[in-house]
Chain A
Amino acid sequence: MTCKTGDTVVLARGLIKRFGDFEAVRGINFEVRGGECFGLLGPNGAGKTSVVRMIYGFSPVTSGRLEVFGEDIGVKARSVKARIGVVSQEDNLDPELSVMENLLVYAGYFRINRDLAGERSREILEFMDLADKAGHVVESLSGGQKRRLTIGRALINRPDLMLLDEPTTGLDPYARHLVWQRLRKLKESGTTMILTTHYLEEASQLCDRLVIMNRGEVLEEGSPEELISRHVGREALELGSGAGLDQYLLEGMGELVKASRVLGEDLVIFTERGRELDRRISERAAELGIEIRRRGIRPANLEDVFLKLTGETLKGGREFTGGGSCD
């Protein structure tokens, strides 16, 4: 039953999802292969959750082709779902039941016999670092513990494919890192994963390959490193001034500037050689009599790729909130 590395696990061709007049997914193509962690990166409303819901058959495909393990989920829902583990965006644990009971009840939905369910549940609690909470009622758990239990619950059927819809949204940084550690271990053990996120860090930490989505469309596809080097180079230079900075600054920089975007009152310039660019921009600013109040060089990241492709940030606004310090 398990998938071999490299086999096609999910295949989408011209996939469309419409809600009334609104097209949430607009004819996208992607392929997820066995053993990889595949990311859907994009802001809220990009259509990521719609894609995930179609993969596990909760939401019917409007048109296009979607195959999971080579089957049409609309036709073979039960047998396909038996091989998938779903971690949805909202917690839907049974709050009145204990941690252990949550796992056992869920195992029942997969018709796993009691002995095996008990054995697996103990393993899962150990793996998810929840063993000492087995008898606790879910209501008493912290947000991070609930998330880990939700992920653990999705492992009860030893899934060939895990769907993780915004697995760390709403968690504090520490809890988020604990979740990432577990997901990395799962990945190392060969579990195929599809992960949606609007955190660039999550995507770059976990995904082997990803698509960048915006407004229902796939803008780009590749590994995080590929995408960064293809679109924005190694570094980003952020400049800020009281008034808007204009593009005159960039005249004559030639090859040094890979791309640039204006965000509110800031100018973000992508380059392979940050220091050199910074020096030349300073000279140019002095010539033009433009005052630069804030400047910073930082490594380029996926957020920059998104910014370059859409002119927007992943948080869905035009205010830039990425890294970059003043000096």
Chain B
Amino acid sequence: MIRGRQLPGGLTAGTDLCLPLALKVFYRNLLVFKKTWKANIMFNFVEPVLYLWAMGFGLGVYVSRINGLPYIDFLAPALIASSSMFSTTYEMTYDSFTRMAYKKTFHGMVATPVSLDDVVAGELLYGTFKGVLYGTVFLAVVAMFGLVKSPWALLVPLPLALMAMAFSILSMIWTSIAPNYDSFGYFFTLIITPMFLFSGVFFPVENLPPGVRLIPWFTPLYHAVEVIRSLVLGQVTRSLLADLAWLAIFILLTVRIPMVTVRKRLVQ
């Protein structure tokens, strides 16, 4: 009974957030990342190349044109978004869970002036940073393949940041209620992989059956793919602002949830 009352109470109450301290939490993760980034980035560099070859040059031979574009031109910008999504979600599930449940990093931090909301905010910022970084690396690979058609592509980090923040929030919520590592399998199988397959990365959502055609609109990945593809191809229209607004509103509506759920899990 008491628990039932805490959740809505926590959501409406103001958060206990101090941005400079949230940045210290972010910095702590960044410092750890600096120890391993060479191996990680290399891995992240190789994967997109493999994807581009397999999907673009391999499969692309059998796909004539999509929306008047060679398949690889259609696919490559969307893979920037999905690659960013995966790096954020892995970080904010397996790695955050390790920090929270095994290394007790969160516990150590909240014994200082840092609040639990600061910790969650720092984690979300770090998840966002990773998504932007890995997405930008993919963008560089796409550019090396000569697939960037417009200087608008320089703006890609903006939609990447919004999308990565959205996925940081979603992942953190799951992490805060996950009983163990195995449960992340459900997160990826039920949420992340379907998004990857049906949010307009591999084919236009208009090709979906009429009954489900609207579903991608409710996913952050769909909107990020729309914006990034347009920027990379130089087909910039006003409708992109609606996609960016969708992502921004999604963040505003959900950002407090992981703060509440993490508190509910750790504070007893």
Contact = CB atoms under 8 A, between A and B. Distances in A.
B112 A110 contact: yes
Contact of A97 (B21, B32, B112, B268): B32
* Most central of A86, A105, A110 by chain B CB within 10 Å: A105
Nearest to A154: B111
Interface string A82-104: 10101010111111110001000
B111 A86 contact: yes
A127 interface: no
Contacts of A77: 16, 115
Nearest to A87: B111
Contacts of B114: 109
Interface in B93-150: 103-105, 107-115
A78 interface: yes
Contacts of A110: 112-113
B105 A94 contact: yes
A30 interface: no
A86 B109 CA distance: 10
Contacts of B110: 58
A14 interface: no
Given A101-B31, A109-B21, A92 B105 contact: yes
Contact of A81 (B27, B104, B108, B112): B112
A19 interface: yes
B246 to A, nearest CB: 35
A109 B24 contact: yes
Contact of B111 (A88, A91, A95, A97): A88
Contacts of B267: 58-60
A127 to B, nearest CB: 20
Nearest to B20: A111
A93 B111 CA distance: 12
Contacts of B36: 96
Given A58-B267, A105-B27, A109-B24, A94 B32 contact: yes
Interface residues of A, number: 30
Contacts of B115: 77-78
Interface string A54-93: 0010111000000000000000011101101010101111
A96 B108 contact: no
Given A82-B113, A110-B113, A88 B28 contact: no
* Most central of B36, B113, B268 by chain A CB within 10 Å: B113
A81 B18 CA distance: 14
B183 to A, nearest CB: 23
A96 B29 CA distance: 10
Contacts of B113: 78-79, 81-82, 109-111
A54 B4 CA distance: 23
B238 interface: no
A148 to B, nearest CB: 16
B5 interface: no
A323 interface: no
A180 interface: no
A164 B164 CA distance: 39
A101 B241 CA distance: 43
A108 B108 CA distance: 13
Nearest to B21: A109
Nearest to B112: A109
Contacts of A97: 31-32, 35
A264 B21 CA distance: 55
Given A77-B16, A86-B111, A108-B27, 10 more contacts: A58-B110, A78-B18, A78-B113, A81-B112, A88-B108, A90-B104, A92-B107, A96-B36, A97-B32, A105-B24
Interface of A: 19, 56, 58-60, 77-79, 81-82, 84, 86, 88, 90-97, 101, 105-106, 108-111, 154, 157
7 contacts: A56-B111, A77-B115, A82-B112, A94-B105, A106-B108, A109-B21, A154-B111
